[in-house]
Chain A
């Protein structure tokens, strides 16, 4: 399906047409004729047949939710995920604080320190999901693709603040060892094969 027909907002020339509706009768005889026509046309039975046909066909569209789920798109913005580096299994987050800065509902808080190797380390990182509006700015601003939005939308707790802990968001080590970390294709990520479309900058000449 092409996008043009959606982008074309000119409804007048887009195959729309006026529905052919007869004028309403105004005099008594016309009204009487309409009643008789409608009575003996059998329109009611067409309606009955349609619903009976659907019942016999038994083409059920229900998704029985807790047992089966609809697939959600990769750009869906549910609970955040923290990614690890493929090379070293270390956390991708470099503690730059951009996500904390850009968060418009002030739900991200982080604390950093200099570790024994004189590298910046994230010591505390929390997202208050009770405040988070899932706008996706944190994922978009992250220079390392470290924080992303995942597809986990089923969370229940006594307090909304308990929905998620940093350890839950971080890709588990065994999952990482199995090479099962999903690379983020959604909000804020670069599109696949972007390198093929990159134009050389003047410095490369």
Chain B
């Protein structure tokens, strides 16, 4: 039994790693295509049919590029920073139920690697550790743009951890559990049971914070291409830069899984239809990340901090208080 559990877990880990590494690549393809269509361009067209093999071409390029360690960087930290970003992004996946449980050859598979009873806390914590990737990478790079980016990264991540935590706190109070499976079961009754109807404010706040946590466009300050080159990624080349990239996209996917699980009913009652609907919700949230990148401008760092501490945090606290009063 123990051995079977071990083998099952290892297989699940490998499957999640492979699928989401590949999805990160395909995500870049979708991002380029969606952005291109929204800007009346064609996007990648030449590698493979409709540019589908562009991902493979990019992968080959990243893998075969020279791994440059610049002269004045702090070598070991510089080398390990991208690994932290990618690793924490994938570690967060351990507590996410990707699909409802299903049977295959008479064997019940739970598509969650570890159903820990503090799932959300674990995900938030590990994503918080993800801060060390940009922070250490930027500080070790011996590059002032990287340093600015590291400082911004620390500020943004720490500030928006507060928003995420406080906004999720209200739903957690209602559900009374930190496990994402319990969240799903709480909302299993159908659309009427979704937490978004009772906690719309928390939903919006959590969604806004997700943009900051993943560093996507309205809050794309950490690696702001037009302003501080590529931020913490400036000095990186080849697959180390690729790891930052995979980490960023994996984070986007995992957040796109977590938000529907928390607020939009997840996979519902666990039927096949529910699973398809869940993937549809995930696809919408991922698409929204790309959509905003085409539509919205970036905010300034001071505006971002203003938004966090003077607007979102008070609203989140008031939301928690009101939820508590209503529950009493």
Binding site for B on A (CB under 8 A): 35, 44, 47-48, 50-52, 54-55, 58-62, 64
- CB < 8 Å neighbour of B295 from A35, A47, A62, A64: A47
Q: Which residues of A contact B37 (CB under 8 A)?
A: 54-55, 58, 60
- CB < 8 Å neighbour of B291 from A35, A51, A61, A64: A51
Q: Are B38 and A55 in contact, CB atoms less than 8 angstroms apart?
A: yes
CB distance from A34 to the nearest CB of B (A): 13
Size category of the B interface is 10 to 19
Annotate B215-231 by CB proximity to A: 1 below 8 A, 0 otherwise: 00000000000000000
Q: Are A52 and B42 in contact, CB atoms less than 8 angstroms apart?
A: no
Q: Which of B37, B39, B41 has the most CB of A within 10 A?
A: B37
Interchain residue pairs with CB less than 8 A apart (13): A44-B295, A47-B296, A48-B295, A51-B291, A54-B37, A54-B38, A55-B34, A60-B40, A61-B40, A61-B41, A62-B41, A62-B42, A64-B45
Which residues of B in the span 29-46 have a Cβ within 8 Å of any Cβ on A?
34, 37-42, 45
CB distance from B29 to the nearest CB of A (A): 16
Binding site for A on B (CB under 8 A): 34, 37-42, 45, 291-292, 294-296, 311
CB distance from A193 to the nearest CB of B (A): 40
- Chain A contact surface mostly: helix
Q: Tell me the bound Cα distance from A44 to B34 in angstroms.
A: 18
CB distance from B324 to the nearest CB of A (A): 25
Q: Tell me the bound Cα distance from A61 to B34 in angstroms.
A: 15
Q: Are B292 and A60 in contact, CB atoms less than 8 angstroms apart?
A: no
Q: Tell me the bound Cα distance from A48 to B288 in angstroms.
A: 9
Q: Tell me the bound Cα distance from A74 to B177 in angstroms.
A: 74
Q: Tell me the bound Cα distance from A62 to B40 in angstroms.
A: 7
- Residue in chain A with minimal CB distance to B218: A44
Q: Are A50 and B41 in contact, CB atoms less than 8 angstroms apart?
A: no
- Residue in chain B with minimal CB distance to A50: B295
CB distance from A82 to the nearest CB of B (A): 36
Q: Tell me the bound Cα distance from A47 to B38 in angstroms.
A: 11
Q: Tell me the bound Cα distance from A58 to B41 in angstroms.
A: 9
Q: Tell me the bound Cα distance from A51 to B40 in angstroms.
A: 9
Q: Which residues of B contact A35 (CB under 8 A)?
A: 311
Q: Which of A48, A50, A59 has the most CB of B within 10 A?
A: A48
Asked if A64 meets B38 with Cβ closer than 8 Å, knowing A44-B296, A48-B292, A48-B295, the reply is: no
- Residue in chain B with minimal CB distance to A62: B42
- Residue in chain A with minimal CB distance to B41: A62
| Shortest Cβ-Cβ A-B pairs, 5 listed | A51-B38, A47-B295, A62-B42, A55-B37, A51-B294
Q: Which residues of B contact A60 (CB under 8 A)?
A: 37, 40-42
CB distance from B297 to the nearest CB of A (A): 9
Known: A47-B296, A59-B40, A61-B40. 16 other contacts (CB 8 A): A35-B311, A44-B295, A44-B296, A48-B291, A48-B296, A51-B39, A51-B291, A51-B295, A52-B38, A54-B37, A54-B38, A54-B39, A54-B40, A61-B41, A62-B40, A62-B41
Q: Tell me the bound Cα distance from A47 to B291 in angstroms.
A: 10
Q: Which residues of B contact A55 (CB under 8 A)?
A: 34, 37-38
Q: Which residues of A contact B294 (CB under 8 A)?
A: 51
Q: Which residues of B contact A59 (CB under 8 A)?
A: 40
Q: Tell me the bound Cα distance from A63 to B38 in angstroms.
A: 16
CB distance from A83 to the nearest CB of B (A): 38
Q: Which residues of B contact A52 (CB under 8 A)?
A: 38, 291
Q: Which residues of B contact A54 (CB under 8 A)?
A: 37-40
- Residue in chain B with minimal CB distance to A43: B296
Q: Which of A44, A50, A51, A64 has the most CB of B within 10 A?
A: A51
- Residue in chain A with minimal CB distance to B292: A48
Q: Which residues of A contact B291 (CB under 8 A)?
A: 48, 51-52
Q: Which residues of A contact B40 (CB under 8 A)?
A: 54, 59-62
- Residue in chain B with minimal CB distance to A56: B37
Q: Tell me the bound Cα distance from A59 to B295 in angstroms.
A: 17
- Residue in chain A with minimal CB distance to B293: A51
Q: Which residues of A contact B311 (CB under 8 A)?
A: 35
